[in-house]
Chains A and B, each alone.
Chain A
């Protein structure tokens, strides 16, 4: 059974600080990794994808991938109240199906 694990939270971070979200996965053959943001009652919205070991930056967001340790993380710099949402980690193995974590609820406190 392929699994993706996330801490459900909530993770509370002061406004302006760095939020760090983590995700581990069980399938060592996983090839691509995605972070989605989901506001309450809304559908998931793609933030970033990452395929290679190392860091990938896009604005205030940085995704980090370590295949040897089987974890992927998302850093949000200069956190804003509008970043408050649930962050979903999704992992793809050999096919097209995504395996999803249950999400981490992030709260940015003004």
Chain B
């Protein structure tokens, strides 16, 4: 396994601009998760995919956020009309579906740090 990769690692943008992040999961991992983490807090769940299907989306996720995983491999997370409150570390994780949620183990990528000026 080469690990979960994310691109870019850092992004600085101005308020109102759109940004897009990419995540490549561990090969053969069919589940992919997006989280957001701010300083001093644990990761906050945003959404997850099983293959190309988006199965759950946090109520905290506003309409400005959208995620895709078109071919069941890499995923993108787009934030439209960024706000200063969007500044955070955006984390991607992946796991292999073993048929039972209880044993699902998530492995994280290095994250994308977003700064909105």
Residues of A at the B interface (CB closer than 8 Å) are: 4, 8, 31-32, 34, 36, 42-46, 49, 51, 88, 90, 92, 94-103
Contacts and interface: CB of A to CB of B under 8 A. Distances in A.
Which A-B residue pairs are the 6 nearest by beta carbons? A100-B42, A43-B108, A31-B102, A32-B102, A43-B111, A96-B101
Interface stretch (B43-51, B65-73, B75-83): B43-51
B111 to A, nearest CB: 5
Interface string B25-46: 0000001010000001111110
Given A96-B31, A96-B48, A97-B48, A49 B43 contact: no
Contact of A92 (B56, B102, B108, B111): B102
A90 B45 CA distance: 11
A103 B40 CA distance: 8
A44 B56 contact: no
Contacts of A31: 101-102
A92 B31 CA distance: 15
